Structure 1
């Protein structure tokens, strides 16, 4: 991880998107050689991306609600 650019190391969302893009590229490149396997991998990747985005939205929603909480 030390070899990654500072912008990726310090930003978990950017790192997740870079990993997603690299995996997607591998799936696209390798799909013609083993379509059944890489179609399944594509489906799994889409599910992981969906889960990551939903988690991000939930965390963002909680944060927005907490900003409006009364201050003590």
Structure 2
């Protein structure tokens, strides 16, 4: 009951082809390929570009020093 035989897969394939048609499936796969190519191009562009300035961290004064400067 848990496994699918070859006949089950053939019926599923026929139903999918009837619902979407051959043209729609090929268009869908073509669009997926274009998306993958665009993603790879975007990843390559990110590696090529470098930030103009390095990221700077914010230096904060410890709480004790901040209180001493207010008192003085």
TM bracket (short chain) = 0.3 to 0.5
Normalised TM-score (structure 2): 0.45
> Structure 1-normalised TM-score?
0.45
Which of the pair has the greater relative contact order for Cα pairs under 8 Å at 6+ separation?
A: 1
Greater helix share, structure number: 1
